[in-house]
Amino acid sequence: MTRLAALLGLELPLLQAGMGAVAGPALCAQVSRAGAGGTLALYKEPPARAARLVREVAAATGGRPFGVNVVPEVTGAARCLEQLRAALPELPRNGFVTVFGLPADDAARAVRAAGHPLVVQVGTPADAGTALARGAAVLVLQGVEAGGHLLGGRPGDSLLAAVRARHPHAVLAVAGGIATGRDLADAVARGADGALAGTLFVPAAESAAHPEFKRRVVEAVAEDTVVTSLFEIGWPRRPHRVLRNSLTAATERAPAAFIATTRVDGRPYPVPRYSAAAPGAATTGRVEEMAMYCGRSCTRVTAAHPAAATVARIRREYEEARALHDGSHTIPPRVPPVPGETT
Ligand SMILES: Cc1cc2nc3c(=O)[nH]c(=O)nc-3n(C[C@H](O)[C@H](O)[C@H](O)COP(=O)(O)O)c2cc1C
């Protein structure tokens, strides 16, 4: 049991990332039922639909805790607050809220006032300090290995060491590079309280990702990913790690065009070339040209399973690796507490 697991009521100190177009109610519910922290992506969901989706998950988790995820830099602060105001009343008491990047003060206050732990993902030591000042109960430290949009440019290990040194008692999870129980145990041995994984769950049976996206993640190795700023329509000014495709390989920009159609709540939406949208199960068209966000951890993601089987495997591997770590001195011990303070 780590402080992350204790704080959020999890059996395993692992959070599944909220992922737009991937982490819908089915994935979130199955991850939570299996004892890890399932998380529902609200991304660009309109508030009324966000509330409905949270209700749907709450009815399916058998009382296990789950989270909802918002991305304020995509929605804007005002829309993010509207999403939270719609979703929070539907979130069971043991639920938590995860935010990609820093939340505005009023959003952070709304989460804390509703009594839910605020989990904030950051990529720099400076943002870690700001997130704690805004009341984050958990920091997710994203390394440059991560799939999706990048909040900093530092390897996860170095970010963890820097933030741990500045905030010895903060509850810290790492993101990026986590695909096995051994990865999770190594992170804990290096001073983390747990981890968050996204790419690991993209191919899951319950993931809402397009079948081609799932297939490519399973087949890919780390060198098949690339950091680019190409897929900027709808989410500008933020580099992202994606699977290489014909657009990332091209030396010249392809002409503007609609290349696919995606569906949200049954309604079709055209997808422009270079859109930030990832291909979901209902997307049709030139899916190969779309942004398939994927972390370097994909090397160790080699099969698609039901999410519960993945969580069970990670739990088994984690327990085995922890038993080994406890008897070995090859991995540095956790940062000792400052005398006179409790952890
Ligand atoms: C397909 C995909 C979509 C993502 N969408 C989101 C999102 O909507 N919200 C969010 O907080 N993070 C999102 N992320 C980033 C994750 O929170 C996290 O930083 C990343 O998955 C960690 O690296 P890993 O994928 O190697 O595990 C996404 C990641 C992926 C792979």
CATH number at residue 316: 3.20.20.70
Band (pLDDT 50/70/90 cuts) for residue 341 is very low
| pTM score, whole prediction | 0.95
Report the chain's mean pLDDT, rounded to a whole number.
95
Report the nearest atom of ligand 1 relative to the CA of 98: 11
Asked whether residue 332 is domain-assigned, the answer is no
pLDDT of residue 325: 79
d(CA 24, CA 19): 8
Same-domain check for residues 260 and 185 = no
Q: Indicate if the pLDDT at residue 145 is higher than 50.
A: yes
Asked whether residue 241 is domain-assigned, the answer is yes
pLDDT of residue 266: 83
pLDDT of residue 333: 46
- Pick from 91-105, 187-201, 249-263, 313-327: least confident: 313-327
The whole-number average pLDDT for the span 289-307 is 97
Query: Ligand 1 centroid to 330 CA: how many Å?
Result: 30
Asked whether residue 339 is domain-assigned, the answer is no
Q: Indicate if the pLDDT at residue 161 is higher than 50.
A: yes
Three-state SS for 228? strand
For the record, the structure tokens of 135 come out as 């009341």
Strands 172-175 and 194-197 come out as parallel
Q: Is 333 left (phi over 0), alpha (psi -120 to 50) or beta?
A: beta
Same-domain check for residues 48 and 74 = yes
Find the radius of gyration of the CA atoms of the chain: 19
- How much of the chain, in percent, has pLDDT values that exceed 90? 92
Same-domain check for residues 284 and 322 = no
Query: Ligand 1 centroid to 326 CA: how many Å?
Result: 31
Q: What share of the chain is helix, strand, coil (3-state, %, to 5)?
A: 40, 20, 45
Band (pLDDT 50/70/90 cuts) for residue 219 is very high
- The label of the residue with tokens 């204790």 reads 6
pLDDT of residue 327: 61
Q: Indicate if the pLDDT at residue 30 is higher than 50.
A: yes
Same-domain check for residues 275 and 305 = no
CB burial class (10 A; 0-12, 13-18, 19+) of residue 165? Answer: exposed
Asked whether residue 276 is domain-assigned, the answer is yes
Strands 240-243 and 148-149 come out as antiparallel
Of 221, 293, 314, the residue with max ligand 1 atoms within 8 A of its CB, to mutate for a pocket test, comes to 293
Report the nearest atom of ligand 1 relative to the CA of 17: 17
Q: Indicate if the pLDDT at residue 337 is higher than 90.
A: no
Q: Which structural domain range is residue 263 located in?
A: 211-297
The whole-number average pLDDT for the span 280-291 is 97
- Residue whose Cα lies nearest atom 5 of ligand 1: it is 19
d(CA 134, CA 183): 30
> Which residues approach ligand 1 with their CB closer than 6 A?
17-20, 22, 41, 43, 69, 71, 100, 121, 142, 146-148, 175-176, 178, 196-200, 202, 278, 293-295, 297
- How much of the chain, in percent, has pLDDT values that exceed 70? 95
pLDDT of residue 336: 47
Same-domain check for residues 136 and 66 = yes
- Picking from 87, 19, 79, 22, the residue whose alpha carbon sits closest to that of residue 49 is 87
Band (pLDDT 50/70/90 cuts) for residue 192 is very high
Stated as kind and residue range, the H or E segment containing 307 is: helix 307-326
Q: Indicate if the pLDDT at residue 343 is higher than 90.
A: no
Band (pLDDT 50/70/90 cuts) for residue 34 is very high
Stated as kind and residue range, the H or E segment containing 108 is: helix 105-113
Report the nearest atom of ligand 1 relative to the CA of 148: 29
Same-domain check for residues 119 and 167 = yes
